[in-house]
Structure 1
């Protein structure tokens, strides 16, 4: 999926009680109608490989995804990012189980819908983790067993399902594509029996990675078509080879490879010297479908889901060590609080704050959230700003603190917060901090003399 308006030229805390009976009935009826067979679990890692992430999407029919693993991207773009997700697509993404739900048979279904007025909705989920990359000298494999929306011909016009990854620096910035890297493991449009794989990098348009087309390849699905059955789509990022290479597979067959020596060293480093997060979505319309006949239009038939059996991440070799922080995040751009790399006591919910998206909540004394690789640059940061809200009862307050590189290090700055008028009554609070330069892991820690929750956080950043 493209994250700027220049799409590839060739192509481009709500519980179940909040979900409607209509959405539940929709998912159940799909399951009853003969859901595609799913494996009970993701396959065991091969010899020499270690599993570092998995979601088998096992759960009751009509329930949402596990928000410990995933966050919903909703609306028509990221806050402050390009409109229509930067691709020209026409749907509104939602967290409704009418669009994103488990089917009770071990599958996730992302289903585009069209209402009586012709408006489209669909779903887009992203891993909370943004640290997926190979260990030094090792390999990373990201794979999923998927059936594409089972619709073809005129009825498929405008369908654009995808399984892909974006570089961690994009989360909270939204203006640095394609330099931070994008790895498209699966893309498809118009219900054709083709899977596309692409790496995006460099500058746009043109540049060393031929943007907005990117460095891509494609093939047909072996055996059954991409739409008629499940296939396993995977990417192996290999730092044990020279040059380093990223390989794309369908059902174990390598059909496209991108090597570091295809671009200059700076372009490759900017695109790969950091972690990535994983995305699953079904877009409707946009530049890629437009290149194959357009849509959606009156002939397009809604309701055909992308069906996902599991998502699994494996790594091999390299000693399994985690690289030091490499400046994944810009200290001076909004860092979305829900994009943490680790946490304790933190939950995620939909926010009503300007720009939408999600915030973290249920924050009380002793809770914390980690944000890796925050780059402060060479000119010292002197200010911390956080977008916060509180519905804490009278007499309950606490400190929002910033610490560097360890949860037990002395805070470099903090501010006190009490009730702001409600858990979604937002204000931006500044605090002075000790001068900071360089790249650090940032911890937000929460301290209070009472056990009660006292703060929600939507985003934060720093200033000079």
Structure 2
């Protein structure tokens, strides 16, 4: 029941966080043995992380992006929510426990400053095929703290429309599915849809369309529970549904919203987020106070057993020749081009390492042979880009089919991002595209100077 804003690349965290890492064990409860990632009948797993790994290590950066700071540069402060904590990539705040779980732990230092963690999937293409269904699920134990000591705790598991990346001001039109929210240690799970305009609109912003209930059996704080969201395009009108431990407690029908609002919310993919905020509009509104306060206890983690995303039914994305070319909906590394003109290849410091293409300027291009879009049209292009261009230098990153001089089916503008290795993920709408094509990434600028590096690209429905 809030607006949220994602994503910033890691920055240097003060050494005190490392000294506080031992605080992870304080106040934490012994967790049950982790569950295996489910394999629900009729569903196909498209993304999963069971958080297996050595105790004290971070998450798999090929799956996850760490969000850093108090907000995305150029976006609203305090992540648009009023929360007061600083999000870090320190293992004091975000780490595996060695028993198959992820722990996101808010910590208050001696000066009263809070740090916490927030991660989001690298992938932003989660959506059902036409006539199909999408399922997003996690097994979570909320921070085990209640009463006055819990004031300000705000754990959440949610998904945000991918067009938010690179814009940061188009919320709530791009859509937000809050699969699990909780505040102040109350034994309740909230499920919320955000959409339309803010304030007011068809989703009653900034509150959203919400429902809540107590966790079945044991409390949300004392035990693991499974939180599930389904987006169902196999029925008419389409349905959004929320579950806890398999029990439905909230739904929104396509018929409840006007056609424009529904389309703006559903014509693109989503990415998944896990975080624990401290303070902000939701916990403050529920308690009628300013939170956290001096009585709020530090160091109680949200414990996450797994995250999974599944699809079922629908037209899918047939891949008649998986041995050649590129899958449009997978990450296509820029350096994997089949041909190029005018660019260079260099090492990158971006997540996962490897290489990027660089020195792209007006008239340069990259070609990727046999990109397979399938029969469910792609309507969005996404690229990971960076720029250290000088003042006044900018350009367009464009997508063309079949020729470097063919019609542009989609593009976005890019200027200085803070450096040639200062990366951001930028989406753009494209003309509906199906079938298999040679895709050209072309670069157009009114200045002759280099204006962009590219790490990877992808497409989404």
Give the TM-score normalised by the residue count of structure 2: 0.73
Equivalent residue of 1:84, what SS? helix
- Would the aligned equivalents of 2:2 and 2:207 in 1 still touch at CA under 8 Å? no
> 1:13-412, aligned counterparts within 5 Å?
22=19, 25-27=22-24, 29=25, 35-44=30-39, 46-293=40-287, 294=289, 295-321=291-317, 342-344=331-333, 362-363=355-356, 373-374=379-380, 387-388=386-387, 404=399, 410=404
| Counterpart-to-counterpart distance in 2, 1:256 and 1:243 | 16
Equivalent residue of 2:286, what SS? coil
Count residues with an aligned counterpart.
Answer: 381
Equivalent residue of 1:319, what SS? coil
Match of 1:2 in 2: 2
Residue-by-residue CA offset, 1:52-89 (whole Å, 9 max, x unaligned) = 11000000111111111110111111121111111111
- Would the aligned equivalents of 2:182 and 2:190 in 1 still touch at CA under 8 Å? yes
Distance 1:70 1:157, change over 3 A: same
Runs of 5+ unmatched residues, structure 1: 6-12, 323-339, 351-357, 377-383, 391-399, 414-423, 429-435, 447-454
Residue-by-residue CA offset, 1:418-440 (whole Å, 9 max, x unaligned) = xxxxxx85499xxxxxxx98567
Match of 1:333 in 2: none
Deviation at 1:272, TM superposition (A): 1.2
Runs of 5+ unmatched residues, structure 2: 319-328, 336-346, 359-365, 372-377, 390-394, 408-417, 423-428, 444-451
Equivalent residue of 2:51, what SS? coil
| Counterpart-to-counterpart distance in 2, 1:74 and 1:373 | 29
Deviation at 1:47, TM superposition (A): 2.3
Distance 1:143 1:151, change over 3 A: same
Deviation at 1:242, TM superposition (A): 1.3
Residue-by-residue CA offset, 1:7-49 (whole Å, 9 max, x unaligned) = xxxxxx99xxx9986465445x469x753024252112x2221
- Would the aligned equivalents of 1:345 and 1:367 in 2 still touch at CA under 8 Å? no
| Counterpart-to-counterpart distance in 2, 1:404 and 1:215 | 37
| Counterpart-to-counterpart distance in 2, 1:144 and 1:250 | 10
- Would the aligned equivalents of 2:355 and 2:455 in 1 still touch at CA under 8 Å? no
Equivalent residue of 2:315, what SS? helix
Deviation at 1:410, TM superposition (A): 3.5
